[in-house]
Chain A
Amino acid sequence: MNPHVTILLQSLIGGIGMGSIYALVALGYSMVYRSMGLVNFAHGNIFMVGAYIGTVFYVSMHTNFVLAFALALLLTAGLGMIVQKILRPLEKMDLIYMMLGTLGIGIVLQNLSIIIWGPDGIAVPFPINNTPWMVKGISIAPYTLVIVGVAALIVIALQLFLNRTKIGLAMRASAQERDMSLALGMNVGLMNGLTLAIGSALAACAGMLVGPVFYVSPDMSTSVGINGFAAAILGGFGSMPGAIVGGLVFGILEQLVATQVSAWSEVIAFVIFVVVLIFKPSGIVGERVVDKL
């Protein structure tokens, strides 16, 4: 096969793998923004805490990977509920105050996890045999398929939950029409808490999935947190399909640049990102947002 096509396909596969992770993180950002109007800069740190919780069960306590996964999701969702309680006064404030408040929570989470789990990373073994398959010169890691598969399942389950269940519908309603939902007697605060819990669970899911690929370490929050945020913006902030598309596009973009010039991948990825944003200010699939300033 043409070597260029090989490289292209190779980075496409790697990009979709990493892009699924970004998509899960971006979904968390978007859901919380949609319901509370809050840009949650602590999301990257919640992602890291979720990864740590899962790792503690899986590596230190030798539980089953699936069980550790479920426990990480549940516990991180609880953390999300607590964070929502703290952040409730920030709901109607300016972006800058939200940003600083959530950053403060992020700093607390980051340093508490350093105190609890130490500054060094933990290596996580792959839950399945990860010998790459070679298909016509392209190597495919089986674990990449696991990441994509699990991410896809989670997104489908989330869609079903939001569209088919009563609680899901109530969450959507209170995100869309806050005052009307209050008037109809819905518990909007609880719904916002649930949204943040689900967003955190999505982040924990991403953290758990990415654990075997990277080290699980306190530093992982920054890069994935920012790239996930950039992905959410790229797709269109607050839109769920946007988060998925943005995550995949950002992942593929990063991989494509990385295979060409590895050291400059961040620079080029972000410059392209800003250029796209200038020509399409509301993201790829985002609706036109009313200028609120």
Chain B
Amino acid sequence: MTSQDMTNRDLAGQELQPEQAPSTPLEGFAPVSEGSASRSAAKRTWRNSRWWISMAVALFLILPIALNNYQVHILDLVVLYMILAIGLDLTMGYCGQMNLAHAAFYAVGAYTSAILTTRFHFTFWEALPISIVFSTACGILIGLPSLKVRSHYLAIATLGLAIAINDMLVNLNGLTGGPTGITGIPKPHVFGVALDSEYLYYYLVLTFTVLLFLLAKIITTHSIGRSFRAVREDHIASQALGINIAKQQILAFALSGMYAGVAGVLYAHMLSYVSPDTFQMNEMFFMLTIVVIGGMGNIYGSIAGAVILIVAREWLNQFQNWQQVVYGALIVALVVFLPGGLVSIKTLFQHRKRSQLYRVK
């Protein structure tokens, strides 16, 4: 059991696995491109986590039965924010790029689909790929400064461009409806069935979440994820290993754009309404909180963060401004006392267990 736990933790990206971490530079070349050792390691960890993942999916599948309409709406949001958080984690946690434009990608996805379906009478399934292309392109565009600037410089560059995009949504009155937004976005049809209740729509969002989660898992366990982490840890060393840093950074931003785009489309059709208020900076910082509180560089952390923070936000809503005060204080406390995020609780215990063993010996 303990060995299984440990492999899970390693998979989660806290540390490189022994097979994945090249001990000598010569060895390092092969696994980064395509190595049999790393492939078998990935297969093994996949087998270990497969059971847990299917249990979680089954739980999420049957969960709506026990809930009322409002609770299902919250559940919709939880599942939606998982997509957003995983997307943000790929750039920020795995690749180490400061990306404060995630909410803007979300907005681009939502607005593209909203405009296409209401103004040009596209169906949901036609608008979806176009919106994803737009938000991915937007991700690549905003990722361009990452080739030249780093850390807080990159943070303000992406934040500035995100503010610019939000301003455009307000100013392009004819297309986006200005500050009032767009109403009457149609609900999607699946095999002729209109998904017009929260219950039915939930399964659509869940499907996308599971697919995108699996994609993220494949990306992070295989060579792309390893080069992401290499770029995060050390630019010069990863360059020396032959990793094209520029390509990885742009890819990370493109992925972030894609994930947020999908979430945006789903959001727009869920509420049938979009307005620029939804995609303000507060939203960006909320996503950031989910990722960091959950645990950076760990997709399971993003998922746990989304569940806990969305539920907490809805519950605290009744206290109005005091809610925000508590929320802010909580963030400070968590960042100060648990910087590894919620996923680090497990390693905390493991560490204690191991050190006790050591003492016994």
Contact = CB atoms under 8 A, between A and B. Distances in A.
Interface of A: 39, 86, 89-90, 93, 95-97, 99-101, 103-108, 110-112, 114-115, 222, 226, 229-230, 233, 237, 263-264, 266-267, 270-271, 273-274, 277-278, 281-282, 291-293
Given A100-B335, A293-B235, A108 B164 contact: no
B295 interface: no
A107 B157 contact: no
B296 A96 contact: yes
A100 B292 contact: yes
Contact of A96 (B92, B156, B167, B327): B92
A271 B324 CA distance: 32
A99 B100 CA distance: 11
10 contacts: A39-B155, A95-B98, A103-B288, A104-B327, A114-B321, A226-B160, A237-B153, A273-B160, A274-B145, A277-B153
Contact of A115 (B151, B296, B321, B327): B321
A168 to B, nearest CB: 26
B235 A233 contact: no
A226 B149 contact: no
A97 B335 contact: yes
Contacts of A111: 321-322, 324-325, 328
A142 to B, nearest CB: 32
Contacts of B160: 226, 230, 270, 273-274
B239 to A, nearest CB: 12
Contacts of A107: 324-325, 327-328, 331
Contact of A293 (B96, B145, B164): B96
Contacts of B285: 100, 103
Contact of B292 (A96, A110, A226, A266): A96
Contact of A97 (B96, B234, B327, B339): B339
B37 interface: no
A260 B42 CA distance: 57
Contact of A264 (B92, B149, B171, B296): B171
A94 to B, nearest CB: 8
Given A106-B328, A108-B325, A291 B235 contact: yes
B208 to A, nearest CB: 27
B145 A104 contact: no
Contacts of B330: 104
B281 to A, nearest CB: 7
Given A89-B336, A108-B324, A226-B159, 17 more contacts: A93-B335, A96-B288, A100-B289, A101-B335, A101-B336, A105-B332, A107-B328, A226-B163, A230-B160, A233-B156, A264-B171, A267-B164, A267-B168, A267-B171, A270-B164, A271-B164, A278-B148
A222 B281 contact: yes
A95 B235 contact: no
Q: Which of B153, B156, B321 has the most CB of A within 10 A?
A: B156
A86 B149 CA distance: 30
A106 B145 CA distance: 27
B221 to A, nearest CB: 23
Nearest to B336: A89
Contacts of B296: 96
B152 A233 contact: yes
Q: Which of B151, B152, B324 has the most CB of A within 10 A?
A: B152
B312 interface: no
Contact of A263 (B161, B171, B281, B339): B171
Q: Which of A226, A229, A267 has the most CB of B within 10 A?
A: A267
A230 B332 contact: no
A105 B164 contact: no
A104 B149 contact: no
Interface string B127-156: 000000000000000001100111111011
Contacts of B63: none
Contacts of A226: 156, 159-160, 163
B322 A115 contact: yes
A111 B151 CA distance: 28
A264 to B, nearest CB: 6
B271 interface: no
Contacts of A104: 327-332, 335
A103 B332 CA distance: 8
Contacts of A103: 285, 288, 328, 331
